[in-house]
Chain A
Amino acid sequence: MHQKELYPKVYLYRRIVNAKLFIDNRYAEKIDLDNIADEAFFSKFHFIRLFHTIYKKTPHQYLSFTRIEKAKLLLAEDITIANVCYAVGFESVSSFTGLFKRMVGQTPAAYQSRQHQKIIDIAAAPLKFIPNCFAEKKGWK
Chain B
Amino acid sequence: MITKMNHVSVFVLNQDSAFEFYVNKLGFKVHTDAAMGPGMRWLTVCPTDQPDLEIALMAINEGMMFTKESAAQMRSLVSNGTFGFGVFECDNLLVTYEELKAKGVEFTKEPTQEFYAFEALFKDDSGNWFSLGQKNTEKS
Contact = CB atoms under 8 A, between A and B. Distances in A.
B64 A137 contact: yes
A7 B63 contact: no
A13 B96 CA distance: 9
Interface in B17-72: 23, 29-30, 32-37, 40, 42, 56, 58, 63-65
A105 to B, nearest CB: 14
Interface of B: 7, 9, 23, 29-30, 32-37, 40, 42, 56, 58, 63-65, 92, 94-95, 98-99, 102-103, 110-111, 139-140
Contact of A123 (B30, B34, B56, B139): B34
A7 B36 contact: no
A17 B95 contact: yes
Contacts of A7: 94, 111, 139-140
Nearest to B9: A134
Interface residues of A, number: 29
B113 to A, nearest CB: 9
Interface string A1-44: 00100011110011011101100000000000000000000000
Contact of A129 (B30, B32, B139): B32
B36 A140 contact: yes
Contact of A18 (B36, B58, B102, B140): B102
A3 B36 CA distance: 47
Given A7-B139, A9-B140, A138 B36 contact: yes
Contacts of A138: 36, 40, 63-65
B56 A14 contact: no
Contacts of B64: 137-139
Contacts of A130: 42
Nearest to B6: A131
B36 A14 contact: no
A93 interface: no
